[in-house]
Amino acid sequence: MIRLSRLAITGLAALALHSFAPGAEPPPAPVAPKAPLVPTEIVSGAAEMVSTDRETTFTFSKGVTVTATNLKITCDDLVVISKRSGDPTATIGKQDNFKSLVATGRVHILQNDREAFCARAEVFPGDDKVVLTGNPRVRSLDGQYQASGPKMELLRGERRAQMIGEGTARPTITLPALKDLGFDKVPEKKKASTPATATGEAPKTESNPPPKLTVPLPPPPK
């Protein structure tokens, strides 16, 4: 087990699983209290670290589990590259900002009520961008939305996700059901009832009665 305090991969969840609403700005969610920060733990079947004067590469393989603040990642392999400074002859050196993180093989990312599945997840903290490939799929645990496509680029801070088609494969988004918007035939209104006559029959009315004519009559003879 390797423990790295506040590793930059905690940003993976904020980038890859940030909720989005295609074509519209979602309403602001209520501000939840921040969860207490916990050290990031990486457990794997094998681990290796290689350093140069400017970078350190951590390679985890044979099944990897990452546990961090509000975040859990499982994958087959994980490669983390960080910038380093200080004494170039030191075995580890001072670890500065992280340059990239690449998780591959049956990647599953879980954060709060969202999760993502893909074959490869690339995180670029400096660009605030995550690229998911290999049949990526992001969904909410409550089933409110699901998005999939050949490639996804998720941008932090912009509340925006780009789904990119490749060849005949096209992005797909599933949202909650709409109500029935079909136009059913409206039943005709019943005609108002007409009071019956003394014979018990309703008086007949003509829709277009003939016009009335007035003819002057001559005066009676004297």
Query: How many whole angstroms separate alpha carbon 98 and alpha carbon 78?
Result: 14
pLDDT of residue 191: 58
Question: What is the number of alpha carbons within 13 Å of residue 201 lying toward its C-beta?
Answer: 4
Q: What DSSP string runs through 136-167?
A: -EEEETTSS-EEE-SEEEEETTTTEEEEE-BT
| Residue 211 counted as domain residue | no
Predicted TM-score of the model (pTM): 0.63
In a domain, 106, yes or no: yes
Instruction: Give the domain extent around 123.
Output: 2-25+38-87+96-174
110 in a structural domain: yes
43 Cβ contact list (under 8 Å, min separation 6):
1, 2, 64, 65, 67
Q: 40: part of which helix (H) or strand (E)?
A: strand 40-51
Position 33 in a domain: no
Instruction: Please count the structural domains in the chain.
Output: 1
Q: Please tell me the distance from the alpha carbon of residue 122 to that of residue 118, in angstroms, as a whole number.
A: 11
Most confident of 2-11, 57-66, 107-116: 57-66
Residue 187 in domain: no
Bigger pLDDT: 121 vs 69: 121
Nearest to 80 by CA among 221, 64, 184, 70: 64
Is 63 inside any structural domain? Answer: yes
> Which segments of the chain does DSSP mark as H helices, in order?
10-16
Does 185 reside within a domain? Answer: no
Contact 74, 108 (CB under 8 A): yes
For the segment 77-125, what is each residue's pLDDT rounded down to a tens digit?
999 998 876 555 554 544 457 788 999 999 999 988 889 999 999 988 8
